Amino acid sequence: MVLAQNPKQIEAIKGLAGLYLQMKKFDDAKLDYYKVLGLDPNDAASYYAVGVIDWNQTFQPRMEERAKLGLKPDQPLKNREVCERLWAINSANIAEGIDNLKRALALRPDYDDAMAYLNLMYREKADLECDAPAARAKDEKIADDWVDKTLAVKKVRAEKAKTSTPPM
């Protein structure tokens, strides 16, 4: 009803996008988050949400293929045919996810959740670089760096919380 009266009501669009996300209607959620970004290009949370959706859309098919091959989590994907198929399916979402998460961080440099998902997106990318061990290693290093940055931000936030809490 709110959107029928005011189709540019950002909080209503975000609410609808959030519902779609919870229902795993990723394409609908992404569409609404992009509507929000069209109205407010400085909304870091919507860039983050699109990155999360992109990760969800890439993770599931990759895990299904890894399970079919009987791979353990620490075993690299080396089946060229599967890599090529997954790259065709996932590469656009991986690139979009990385781009949107970086945009979220440009707006909020201490956005630890966006950092954590950048780690995950680079791991998605690394696993699909079957024939490029150097590229895989580079992306794994970038992912590890994002883990370190995430932990550093969380540590600083925890320290600030300790010092700002009045003693009892």
9 located within any domain? no
13 located within any domain? no
Q: Greatest CA span in the chain, whole angstroms?
A: 62
Output the six-digit token pair for 112.
Answer: 């630890």
97 located within any domain? yes
Alpha carbon distance 101, 121 (integer Å): 9
35 located within any domain? no
61 located within any domain? yes
102 located within any domain? yes
67 located within any domain? yes
Q: How many structural domains does the chain have?
A: 1
At 108 the pLDDT is 97
Residue type, 112: D
Look up the domain containing 98 and give its range: 42-157
Q: What confidence category does residue 162 fall into, taking pLDDT thresholds of 50, 70 and 90?
A: confident
- Tell the residue number behind the tokens 């600030």, with chain if given: 160
Spatial CB neighbours of 43, under 8 Å, sequence gap ≥ 6: 10, 36, 37, 107
- Per-residue pLDDT tens for 121-146? 999 999 999 888 899 999 999 999 99
- Per-residue pLDDT tens for 109-123? 999 999 999 999 999
- Per-residue pLDDT tens for 51-100? 999 999 999 999 999 999 999 888 888 889 999 999 999 999 999 999 99
31 located within any domain? no
